[in-house]
Homo-oligomer: A and B are copies of this chain.
Amino acid sequence: SNCEEMVLNVQFSPLTPPSGFSSYNGGEMNGTSKMMDFLEEPLPGVGTYEDFNTIDWVREKSRDRDRHREITSRSKESTWALIHSVSDAFSGWLLMLFIGLLAGSLAGLIDISAHWMTDLKEGVCLAGFWFNHEHCCWKSNTTFTDRDKCPEWKSWSQLIIGHGEGAFAYILNYLMYVIWALLFSLLAVLLVKGFAPYACGSGIPEIKTILSGFIIRGYLGKWTLIIKTITLVLAVSSGLSLGKEGPLVHVACCCGNILCHLFTKYRKNEAKRREVLSAAAAAGVSVAFGAPIGGVLFSLEEVSYYFPLKTLWRSFFAALVAAFTLRSINPFGNSRLVLFYVEFHMPWHLLELVPFILLGIFGGLWGAFFIRSNIAWCRRRKTTKLGKYPVLEVFVVTAITAILAFPNEYTRMSTSELISELFNDCGILDSSKLCEYVNDFNSTKGDDLPDRAAGPGVYTAMWQLALALIMKVFITIFTFGMKVPSGLFIPSMLAFYHHDWVIFSGWCSQGADCITPGLYAMVGAAACLGGVTRMTVSLVVIMFELTGGLEYIVPLMAAAMTSKWMADAIGREGIYDAHIRLNGYPFLEAKEEFSHKTLAMDVMRPRRNDPPLTVITQDSMTVEDVETIINETTYSGYPVVVSRESQRLVGFVLRRDLIISIENARKKQDGIVSTSIIYFTDHSPPLPPSFPSMLKLRSILDLSPFTVTDQTPMEIVVDIFRKLGLRQCLVTHNGKLLGIITKKDVLKHIAQLANQDPDSILFN
């Protein structure tokens, strides 16, 4: 998509020699080489990664265990070391606390600002321009019912021409609404373009990729955080059909990443840092929905890759702190943790499962349709000229959205406001009153028929809602993936709230015994979200926490299940996975079973007719030989063998480590020349003094490379790559080294078997 196109541009420009760090975006993630380490590292740079590479989970975890062992053994020596050891053990919890506090505060700030700026599109408060509509009218001593018409709040027409009645005032308000919307969205897109290209989009596909072990420097940096926070407010306020949930996850992950720098333990270890990011993602969902348990499950089910039980507990803590902080800030003014709290406790009947399942089917169909259309549009944007004019695109989409949105009462207000207002009011009141309420609501716009119960007003509302639904559906397809922060949740939920309203209104006007409408809205929203994201348990738990209704788990489950089945029958991928594939991120899907019957020998390099594998011998190659190999090949590492003839594997050495070590030795170690022999053995033979001194590199040799036999089924190889988080794996036959399989080879192989272009997989 357009948004990710920019990520690629960022990537391809600084693709300079291997030893250079990308200095983009202040280099938030490459601090590893600058700081002092607790454990002295022999060479700076050894053991770090380049940008757009995959980390080696096994090595990272080993390093952390070494660190831990060191601290534990030192803790017996002195009191200071003991304190250090204890503080090290608690640093994880402290970090979670900070992440929770920061994510909660930012979410509160975003909510308050977005609320104010959304209202700014319609008018301004005379008592102080920084008050939003609701706050403004709190100040005046009007009653609750009249609070929308308080004297301090002036619509733009009232402010400019002095009154709010008539066609001219309407047109003036309309114009101001569109102008503000355009202003906000243009500001957002320019900020993103100018300062932090990574701040665009939902961010969840990229975070999934990062959590699976990929490195994108600056994606979770401080500039991204600042710009994303600002532009998220602008984008939501502009009235575009997008939600703040995905971006909030991104914001929370940025917080997590930045706060990691406070603690050596997390700053210097990519695997540990990813544990923190998983927890931060949970905190992000937690503040987006006020659903701490749902957030943790979302992180577990959808976002995270490596999620040990320890992380589960910590994530829960972070999510809870974040939700609690948000509640203390109280941006919704109802002192609830929950955004759309419902009070109804009407039991539902077993027969109602039929409509719930129908809702599920509809949700699944909508989800599959949405994913297909959105992906087709994003691909078009990527391949045609369209992608070259992101600002123009945002301008056009915002203009269309604003122009279409204003005349319709239901699309004019902000999305989340609409959901919660409709939901709350009708949830508490009796359902028949609700119909009257809809009637009343419309009567303020011209239908002066308050006495005719469920008359034309209901039908007007139905039509408006149906139109709103159709409009939202189409606009959202074009909006998601634009170069502004955009989430998906709320729009797809909204779509269905509307839809349900229609169903409900239809039923209720027939006079039969009315069914809790809020429940249908809730179930419909779950079905749609399920269809789009393919979430399961986390979806049900989020919906249940969102509304606080413990008794509605069964309907939610039924709809979510049907929706997922339906959507899976049409296309296997959820929206995030579809975007990952579209952008060619090296993400090894953990949910899909690899079901083909290929063997390791079919995937490994070299292929059958290729020249043999490039190897380094353990005690017979000179510095020059090795440098030639490094310059002639682009592999990220080389196997070390006993001798070329025997091909018995000794270990594996990374290209990056090799370059750094040789460079360093040439500079600092006397007597290292091009003819020096490199030894990877434990003991090197005594050399005659005439020989140039030798270079011992056993310390950078990985003595425990993973190996599989050439006959190993690829399903097992894929499993090993997934579960152990490998970067590469060597292939042997009867004890002889035969080839190598990298994560990229595995991904290409999977793409090939799925009849996709294997070269769509980018990066290493």
Contact = CB atoms under 8 A, between A and B. Distances in A.
Given A293-B541, A296-B537, A545-B550, A711 B716 contact: no
Interface in A7-22: none
Interface stretch (A258-266, A575-583, A603-611, A641-649): A641-649
A692 interface: no
A339 to B, nearest CB: 13
Contacts of A292: 553
A537 B313 contact: yes
Interface in A558-617: 561, 590-591, 593, 595, 597, 600
For A292, A537, A642, which residue has the most chain B Cβ atoms within 10 angstroms?
A537
Contacts of A557: 316-317, 320
Contact of A734 (B597, B649, B720): B649
A353 to B, nearest CB: 11
Contacts of A293: 293, 537, 541, 553
Contacts of A553: 292-293, 320
Given A293-B541, A301-B309, A536-B316, A337 B551 contact: yes
Given A292-B553, A545-B550, A537 B703 contact: no
Nearest to A302: B309
A591 B338 CA distance: 33
Interface string A712-736: 1101100110011000000010111
A75 interface: no
Interface stretch (A61-69, A128-136, A447-455, A475-483): A61-69
Contacts of A536: 309, 312-313, 316
A712 B716 contact: no
Interface in A297-356: 301, 309-310, 312-313, 316-317, 320, 324, 337-338
Interface in A605-662: 642, 646-651
Interface in A64-93: 65, 68-69, 72
A711 B707 contact: no
A554 interface: yes
As for how many copies of this chain the complex holds, the number is: 2
A704 interface: yes
A705 B715 contact: no
Contacts of A736: 648, 735
A540 interface: yes
A704 B708 contact: yes
Interface in A30-83: 58, 61-62, 65, 68-69, 72
A716 B62 contact: yes
A737 interface: yes
A550 to B, nearest CB: 6
For A293, A317, A545, A713, which residue has the most chain B Cβ atoms within 10 angstroms?
A293
Contacts of A313: 536-537
B642 A65 contact: no
B646 A735 contact: yes
A263 to B, nearest CB: 18
A205 interface: no
A324 B548 contact: no
8 contacts: A61-B715, A62-B715, A72-B595, A313-B536, A649-B734, A704-B708, A704-B712, A732-B735
Given A296-B537, A703-B712, A707-B707, 20 more contacts: A58-B716, A62-B715, A65-B715, A68-B593, A68-B595, A69-B597, A309-B590, A309-B591, A310-B591, A317-B561, A324-B554, A338-B550, A545-B550, A648-B736, A649-B709, A651-B709, A703-B711, A704-B713, A719-B724, A724-B724
